[in-house]
Amino acid sequence: MNYLYFLYVEFLSKYNIPKLFGDITFYVIPFCIIAAALLVVVLILVLAERKLLGYFTQRKGPNRVGLWGILQTLADAFKLLCKENITPQKADRILFNIAPILAFVPMFAALGIIPYSSEFTFVNTKTNVILYLILAAFPVLSIFIAGWGSNNKYSLFGAMRSIAQVLSYELPITFVILSVVTLASSMNLTEITLAQFSTGGVLGWFVFPCILGFVIMFISILAELNRCPFDLPEAESELICGYNTEYSGMRFAIFYLSEYAMMFANAMFISVLFLGGYLSPFGKYFFDSSFLIYFEQAFWLFLKAGILIFIMIWIRATLPRLASFDLLKFSWAFLLPLSIVNLFISVFYKLLMEGGLWH
Amino acid sequence: MNWNEFQRVFSDCELDGNKIIIKSKLHDVISFVINNYTYNILKEIIAVDTADKGIELIYHLYSKDDEEDLFISIVVQDEAESITDIFESAKADENEIYDMFGIKFEGNEDLKRLYMPEDWKGFPLRKDYVQDDTRLAWNDNNEA
Amino acid sequence: MTTTRLKLNLGPQHPSTHGVLRLLLELEGEKIISCEPDIGYLHRGMEKMAEKMTYIQYLPLVDRIDYLAGFFYSELLCRIVEQALCIELPDKVRAIRVMLLEMNRISSHLLWIGAFLMDLGAVSPFFYAFREREMILRYFEKLTGQRMMYNYFVFGGVRKDIDYLEDVEYIVSYLPQKLDEYEKIITENPIFLRRTEGKGILEPDTAYSFAITGANLRASGIDDDYRKSDYLYKGFDFKPIVLDNKDSWARYKARVLEIRESLNIISQALDYLKKADKLEQRLINPINLKLPQGDYSAEIEAPRGLACCFVRSDGQEKPYRLKWRTGSYYSVNLLRELLKGEYLNDAIAIAGSLDIILPEVDK
């Protein structure tokens, strides 16, 4: 239980509300906060992607709705909300309807376990990393259900490709995370963040001992997110839209939303693992008051995630799509061995740092 | 090409510019031309409805080495010999001619309606084709 | 466990069939067992229409056979009429026509590069190619009043004298450096190379048998460019682009190099036009234009292969029979052969590399 919890229970006890109520709601309220914050973040992300892609391709991007096109995503979301929700006649109705929910829920949960600042982690367990791994791999289930349930051959191909892709890229991710866990000697994300603290700021980050792991992780996350150049499951020129070809209206919007939210969550996750999470890159914070420091910490985390997302969009504007066989080969024959090498490097580094090699 | 040599083998033909007009044995003529001269590409097959005599098929051959065009012309009624075993591209041409002129090519199994709907009656590029199909909205007969 | 083959209907409303091509694919997993192209969704009856119209009525329509390379088809029809009436074109008309044809070829190839890269999943080159194509289209619009359906060539010459040559000059000086940029982001891209090198090999024999012409044939190592024997190009110094790789990459590279070669031709035409006098041409009065009885055929090297026009005239105002040969029509039929045994992922790239455009296929 952390500082926020006590603050909350204290607040409740002022109004004579039993502690049990506080225990229960303490885990519910954060998710409401996330839900609200997430919508804003996704709106910004979608706009950012469209704007940036526009600038990369010598266009202006959306610039009609609101100042600088700020309200464009809102307008699009509203449009999707108004559209008819079509369920194909021969689709499996239950699976078809359950898929968007399954895409959305784990993404929410994943956002709950990320340490936004030193006291602001909604769910803080000892093995956060494992929990995150499970939640990050969950959307593939929803993709498969969507592809299978919509009874469309293109969707099915998209789902097939997605499963093959996630299965093969999950392993390098696991090995890389293992090496980070070794370096930090902990599976808790907050402790991993704190293990990267040094007065030198940037120098303590795990990106330096395992730069290799960082690159592998970034590439594999791109694959897990089905983003270019690994966007085979939703390859527009081949499979029209992949697994969500048959989806329309709000269900499509939910897929869209969870895709961007997952991108944000994964970017933050990489920042936590390698870029010091909420730690300041200068080794000290600008604000002194303990309250403002929380915001500064969150700002650093968001900034790091933002930079990673910018790189993702940049890659999308630059690279063509991989061929399906290269995609799998790249993971099994290249990334997996490298990630194991990375694990050894970090183990040696850890032993070296603690002087364990001479014992 | 050597016209005299050609005429020795196929006597029943005449030359008109770079067009050879034959009466029959289309497949034999074309395979002879391919095997004995340097013609290696069938640019197109042109069909013309001559109204009275039948439908004239003009095979446009080209020799890359000699940079020479050759037209082989034959008048057929409703059936013709297919040359798909010599040129793969003839499949496309013959199909188009079947669609537009209704000529059946013996030996070409893949003939089907190409541009026109599957159940379309008549062959549009024939001179005796009358545009009276009731499906045409602008047709005078369709005023009901 | 039993496995069945999957029948997949690719098109006619598929994002990467460049129009309304429908491919009936039989798949085993993602491997293509057989491919059956189904065309005719864009059939406008160009040949039937010709029989009902006089030559001048038909002339504006032929631009629409291939809306990306309209000049080539109107040039063909003009050529038929000029050939029938034995008209010798003045040098200046020839230079104007060659310059516009080559510019049109460039715009067509640029669009293809963009669309091909889009098929491969790269977004940006599409916009870059369109940016350059836009310059050419702007010039065409200034000159002819139209961006795609120019209707600028008329029987015996051109509709009006050439103008705005400084625009062409700018394009000629500007495009090469942009092409260098393309080569940097496309040709040197390892993913692009992996996806095109050795994919969709087109052997010369197969190409001949399927009557493939144009850049696709030249990318298979055969030096066959009709422009060499074309009277319009007489006096222009250029060499056909021939590559020996036979694969999708060669077809891409051939088109990029062809753009450079076209720029070379344009600058030669430009040099001539800048010094040339006022346009003097003898236009044919198209009212009551009758071609003498007989068969006429003309050919031209269009961006998507050899285009031929055959006209049989019976001495009337309207052609008795008019037949078009278009390059894309034969490329579509090649898909049957070329896609066999490929994976869906590569198949799109291979089909894209052939530069098929559907209005040309369906006529």
**Domain-located, residue A75:** no
Counted domains in chain C: 1
pLDDT tens by residue, C269-280: 888 888 888 888
Please list every residue in chain A whose beta carbon sits closer than 8 Å to the beta carbon of residue C6: 153
Counted domains in chain A: 1
pLDDT of residue B141: 52
Q: Which residues of chain B fall short of a pLDDT of 70?
A: 1, 132-144
* Domain region containing C248: 45-362
Neighbours of A29 (CB within 10 A): 13
pLDDT tens by residue, C322-344: 899 888 888 888 888 888 888 88
Please list every residue in chain A whose beta carbon sits closer than 8 Å to the beta carbon of residue C191: 229, 319-322, 326
Amino acid at A92: D
Q: Do C191 and A228 touch (CB under 8 A)?
A: no
Q: Do A231 and C6 touch (CB under 8 A)?
A: no
pLDDT tens by residue, C246-301: 888 888 888 888 998 999 999 988 888 888 888 888 888 888 888 888 888 888 88
Q: Do C45 and B58 touch (CB under 8 A)?
A: no
Whether the CB of C121 is below 8 Å from some CB of chain A: the reply is: yes
**Domain-located, residue A257:** yes
Closest CA to C117 of C41, C219, C191, C66: C191
Q: Domains (ranges, CATH) in chain B?
A: 3-131 (3.30.460.80)
pLDDT of residue C349: 84
Mean per-residue pLDDT of chain B: 81
**Domain-located, residue A55:** no
pLDDT of residue A311: 92
Residue C346 sits in a domain whose CATH number is: 1.10.645.10
**Domain-located, residue A93:** yes
- Taking the C-alpha atoms of residue C235 and residue A249, their distance in angstroms, rounded to an integer, is 61
Whether the CB of C160 is below 8 Å from some CB of chain A: the reply is: no
Q: Is the dihedral of CA C165, C167, C168, C170 positive or negative?
A: positive
Task: Return phi, psi of residue B111, to 5°.
Answer: -70, 130
pLDDT of residue B142: 47
Partner residue opposite A58 with nearest CB, options C30, C127, C192: C127
Closest CA to A252 of A38, A92, A136, A99: A99
- Taking the C-alpha atoms of residue A147 and residue A244, their distance in angstroms, rounded to an integer, is 7
- Taking the C-alpha atoms of residue C298 and residue C212, their distance in angstroms, rounded to an integer, is 18
pLDDT tens by residue, A171-201: 899 899 888 888 888 888 888 888 887 777 7
pLDDT tens by residue, A329-347: 888 888 899 999 988 888 8
| Token pair for A45 | 């992300």
Distance (Å) from the alpha carbon of C344 to chain A's nearest alpha carbon: 8
Provide the H-helix boundaries in C90-159: 91-119, 124-144
- B vs C, Cβ pairs < 8 A, gives 71
**Domain-located, residue C193:** yes
Count of alpha carbons within 13 Å of A129, Cβ hemisphere only? 23
**Domain-located, residue C6:** no
Percent of chain B with pLDDT over 70: 90
User: At B72, which helix (H) or strand (E)?
Assistant: strand B68-76
- Dihedral-angle region of residue C212 (phi above 0 means left; psi in -120 to 50 means alpha; beta otherwise): beta
**Domain-located, residue C27:** no
Distance (Å) from the alpha carbon of A213 to chain C's nearest alpha carbon: 22
Chains with ≥3 CB–CB distances under 8 Å to A: C
pLDDT of residue A358: 61
| Token pair for A73 | 């995503």
**Domain-located, residue C18:** no
pLDDT of residue C281: 81
What length is written for chain A?
Answer: 359
Mean per-residue pLDDT of chain A: 83
**Domain-located, residue A181:** yes
- Dihedral-angle region of residue C200 (phi above 0 means left; psi in -120 to 50 means alpha; beta otherwise): left
pLDDT of residue B144: 44
Enter the ipTM.
0.84
Whether the CB of C86 is below 8 Å from some CB of chain A: the reply is: no
Residue of A nearest to C118 (CA): A237
Distance (Å) from the alpha carbon of C334 to chain B's nearest alpha carbon: 8
Distance (Å) from the alpha carbon of A3 to chain C's nearest alpha carbon: 48
- Taking the C-alpha atoms of residue A277 and residue A272, their distance in angstroms, rounded to an integer, is 4
- Taking the C-alpha atoms of residue C254 and residue C63, their distance in angstroms, rounded to an integer, is 25
Residue of C nearest to B125 (CA): C48
* Domain region containing A258: 83-358
Distance (Å) from the alpha carbon of B114 to chain C's nearest alpha carbon: 6
Mean per-residue pLDDT of chain C: 86
Cβ atoms of C44 and C362 within 8 Å: the answer is: yes
Burial B53-71, CB ≥16 within 10 A → b, else e: eebbbbbbbbbbeeeebbb
Whether the CB of C329 is below 8 Å from some CB of chain B: the reply is: yes
